[in-house]
């Protein structure tokens, strides 16, 4: 077993609408998509964003695109017009998602 | 436009702040390709329209995209000569004002008068009775002074204007993808309930609407996701077929890249449920969408499905939102983070002791912790923050009262002499804010229309 950052296995982009953040997560290698589905769970994403007090985290699977889409409600301190954050849109939150640790077994490492 | 197997739609801008010269290689590519083509500009974010409405209040002739002339000057003559219509939401709060500007630009370029159409009916401050508008306001913004109220119109009026022979179509608020779907409706004659094709056209517009973001912009991550010649990133072009299949590519001779990765990121951008992307024209479903490589910088998209359009339309209401005050100061070298943190605590205490303890004051230690943190500081409390050799303190607060946040900026300035050791480089800013909220209203309340302007 070994641990890698999600950043090594997938890329991501954040969008925002009001106080809701959405993050598309895409596997570099389609063969890693099941690993993302297994480990980048609603619970782990909610925990990662816990200090922003999400009221709901939804996860949508897109197997044909080797992607997952996360919709995280009420985490932008009111959104682009009322947040005090430098990054009022929460654009940087895709990079926060990519800090998740992913466990791989030997066969997955050598792929 | 005569029916042709392929309609090309190029994007010249993906937001108001976009590069002024981006459209030039797009138009060059469209002209060389021959065949029917349209150039679209998307320059109207939520907040941009409210700002435009404020400008129009001060000057009845203003209120349209401030960079309009800079966007169009390099490409207008070539588009007119090649018969490439231009469609843009650069009308903002005053489409007729934008049309007048474009007509003046055409004259200055030695072009004959253009057939310019405007799309109107999105402005609810003009079209709805005050009581009806009042009733629409969500409870959270009840009693606020509205600056703008605009509904997202669809593609139908744009298509009508193009069928009527418009060389330029100026809109205010329309759904961004409708800027691309309108020309497709006009060209292919798709029925307004041909949901699968409308959805394909909508998602093609979705991929175009943010300009470079589908073509290598907003994507590079050195050593991980490298993008060639990002300084000259190309803007995208869609080649749409009559049956709804399409290819995404970009302007020839430009930097950037169009591949499965860039297209997938942008396909999901700002989507919520991928089975139900709601627009005024259709509900699009990308759950069975497939991407295929079709040569260098070419991705073919298939499998997008559509469902009947929603019965209601979305509107964005913007209101005056008080003031944002910000102040920054730098600390570097040994113990820099501790000195920056102390400076932030001093500003908090000064505001509290002067009767502003109720203000939510945000302190960022840029270089240690900033954008991942929340406004209430819970992130910073939950994480061990390391020292760093070069830290910038940023203090921010918002208030209905300008004087409150002005005091914040004064207190950051005073850190020069009254704060911790070695602070330097103070910058402060006071910014008026706009708040916003969304609501939905029945289509029957609206009368969207298009017409030529003299």
- Residue pair B285/B304 in contact (Cβ under 8 Å)? The answer is yes
Q: What is the mean pLDDT of chain A?
A: 95
Last residue in a domain, options B310, B329, B363: B310
Contact by Cβ (8 Å): B377, B363: yes
Cβ neighbours of B92 (radius 10 Å): 32
Shortest Cα distance, chain B CAs vs residue A60, angstroms: 7
Same domain, B274 and B352: no
- Please tell me the total count of domains within chain B: 2
Which letter does DSSP use for residue B360 in this model?
Answer: -
Terminal CA-CA length for chain A: 14
The structural domain count of chain A equals 1
| pLDDT of B4 | 58
Tens of pLDDT along A52-62? 999 999 999 99
Average pLDDT, consecutive stretches of 10 residues, N- to C-terminus, chain B (454 residues): 77 97 98 98 91 92 97 98 98 98 98 98 94 88 90 98 98 98 98 98 98 98 98 98 98 98 98 98 98 98 98 95 97 97 98 98 98 97 93 98 98 98 98 92 96 92
In a domain, B445, yes or no: no
Is residue B201 helix, strand or coil? helix
Token pair for residue B248?
């995404």
Tell me if ipTM is over 0.85.
yes
Domain presence at residue A12: yes
pTM for this one? Answer: 0.96
**B412 and B347, same structural domain?**
yes
Checking if the pLDDT of A71 tops 60, the result is yes
Name the helix (H) or strand (E) containing A96.
helix A93-97
| Domain-embedded: residue A61 | yes
A87 contacts in chain B (CB < 8 Å) = 370-371
Report CB contact under 8 Å: A17, B270: yes
3-class secondary structure, B234 = coil
Q: Are B72 and B106 part of one and the same domain?
A: yes
- pLDDT grade for A108, boundaries at 50, 70 and 90: confident
Asked if residue B306 and residue B326 are part of one domain, the reply reads no
Cβ of A65 within 8 Å of Cβ of B291? The answer is: yes
What residue numbers bound the domain in which B363 lies? 320-438
Q: Which residues of A touch B374 (CB under 8 A)?
A: 51-53, 77, 85
The reply to whether A24 touches chain B by the CB within 8 Å rule is: yes
Q: Which CATH number fits the domain that encloses residue A25? A: 3.30.70
Cα–Cα distance between B226 and B208 in angstroms, integer?
21
Per-residue pLDDT tens over the stretch A17-35: 999 999 999 999 999 999 9
Six-digit token string for B94: 């005053």
Nearest to B264 among A53, A65, A86 (CB): A65
Averaged over A3-19, what is the pLDDT?
97
* Helix and strand counts by DSSP (H, E) for chain B: 15, 18
Q: Three-state SS for B326?
A: strand
Residue A110 has a pLDDT of 59
Over residues A75-84, the pLDDT tens digits come to 999 998 899 9
Q: Could you report how far apart the first and last alpha carbons of chain B are, in Å? A: 23
A74: contact with B, CB 8 A cutoff: no
Domain that holds residue A39: 1-76
Same domain membership, residue B102 and residue B210: yes
Q: Which residue of A has its CA nearest to B219?
A: A13
- Contact between B141 and B318 under an 8 Å Cβ cutoff? The reply is no
Indicate whether B62 and B115 sit together in one domain: yes
β-bridge mates for residue B226, sequence order: none
Instruction: Specify whether B11 is located in the same domain as B78.
Output: yes
For A97, nearest residue in chain B (alpha carbons) = B372
- Give CA–CA dist B274/B268, Å, rounded: 8
Single out the residue of B310, B291, B303 nearest to residue B196, CA to CA. Answer: B303
Q: What is the CATH number of the domain that holds B360?
A: 3.30.70
In a domain, A110, yes or no: no
Does residue A111 belong to any structural domain of this protein? no
Say yes or no: A32 contacts chain B, CB-CB below 8 A: no
Task: Outline where B352-387 has alpha helix (H).
Answer: 378-382
Q: Choose the closest CB to A22 out of B264, B271, B303.
A: B271
Q: How far is CA B115 from CA B162, B164, B180, B192, in A?
A: 10, 10, 19, 25
- Whether residue B166 contacts residue B186, with contact meaning beta carbons closer than 8 Å, is answered with no
- Chain A: residue whose CA lies nearest to B210: A15
At residue A111, the pLDDT reads: 58
Q: What are phi and psi of B128, to 5 degrees?
A: -105, 145
Residue A46 lies in a domain: yes
């Amino acid at each position: 077993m070994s641990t890698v950052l999600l950043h090594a296995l997938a890329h991501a982009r954040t969008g925002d609408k009001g106080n809701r953040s959405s993050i598309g997560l895409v596997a570099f290698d389609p063969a890693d998509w099941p690993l993302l589905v297994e480990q980048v769970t609603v619970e782990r994403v909610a925990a990662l964003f816990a200090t922003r007090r999400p009221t709901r985290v939804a996860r949508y699977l897109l197997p044909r695109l080797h992607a997952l889409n996360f919709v995280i409600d009420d985490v932008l301190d009111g959104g682009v017009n009322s947040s005090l954050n430098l990054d009022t849109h929460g654009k940087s939150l895709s990079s926060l998602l990519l800090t998740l640790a992913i466990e791989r077994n030997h066969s997955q490492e050598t792929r | 436009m005569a029916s042709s197997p392929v309609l090309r739609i190029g994007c010249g801008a993906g937001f108001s702040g976009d590069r002024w010269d981006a459209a030039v290689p797009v138009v060059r590519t469209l002209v060389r390709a021959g065949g029917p083509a349209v150039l679209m500009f998307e320059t109207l974010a939520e907040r941009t329209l409210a700002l435009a409405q404020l400008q129009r209040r001060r000057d009845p002739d203003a209120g349209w995209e401030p960079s309009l002339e800079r966007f169009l000057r390099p490409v207008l003559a070539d588009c007119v000569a090649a018969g490439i219509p231009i469609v843009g939401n650069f009308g903002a709060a005053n489409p007729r004002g934008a049309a007048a500007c474009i007509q003046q630009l055409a004259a200055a370029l030695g072009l004959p008068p253009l057939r310019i159409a405007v799309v109107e009916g999105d402005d609810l401050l003009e079209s709805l009775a005050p009581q009806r508008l009042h009733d629409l306001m969500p409870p959270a913004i009840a009693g606020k002074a509205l600056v703008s109220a605009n509904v997202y119109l669809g593609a139908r009026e744009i298509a009508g204007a193009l069928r009527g022979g418009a060389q330029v179509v100026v809109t205010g608020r329309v759904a961004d993808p409708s800027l691309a779907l309108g020309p497709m409706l006009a060209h292919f004659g798709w029925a307004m309930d041909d949901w699968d094709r409308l959805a394909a056209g909508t998602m093609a517009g979705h991929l175009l609407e943010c300009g470079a973001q589908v073509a290598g912009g907003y994507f590079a991550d050195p050593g991980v996701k490298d993008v060639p010649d990002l300084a000259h990133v190309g803007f995208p072009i869609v080649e749409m077929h009559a049956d709804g299949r399409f290819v995404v590519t970009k302007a020839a001779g430009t930097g950037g890249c169009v591949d499965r990765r860039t297209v997938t990121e942008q396909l999901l951008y700002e989507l919520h449920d991928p089975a139900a992307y709601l627009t005024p024209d259709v509900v699009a479903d990308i759950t069975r969408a497939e991407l295929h490589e079709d040569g260098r910088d070419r991705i073919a998209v298939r499998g997008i499905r559509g469902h009947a359009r929603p019965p209601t339309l979305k509107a964005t209401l913007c209101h005056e939102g008080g003031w944002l005050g910000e102040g920054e100061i730098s600390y570097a070298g040994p113990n820099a983070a501790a000195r920056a943190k102390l400076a932030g605590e001093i500003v908090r205490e000064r505001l509290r002791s002067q009767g502003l303890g109720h203000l939510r004051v945000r302190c960022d230690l840029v270089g240690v912790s900033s954008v991942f943190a929340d406004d209430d500081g819970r992130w910073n409390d939950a994480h061990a923050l390391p020292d760093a050799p070069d830290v910038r303190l940023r203090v921010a607060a918002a208030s209905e009262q300008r004087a409150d946040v002005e005091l914040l900026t004064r207190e950051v300035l005073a850190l020069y002499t009254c704060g911790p050791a070695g602070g330097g480089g103070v910058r402060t800013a006071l910014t008026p804010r706009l708040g916003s909220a969304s609501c939905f209203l029945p289509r029957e309340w609206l009368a969207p229309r298009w017409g030529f302007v003299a």
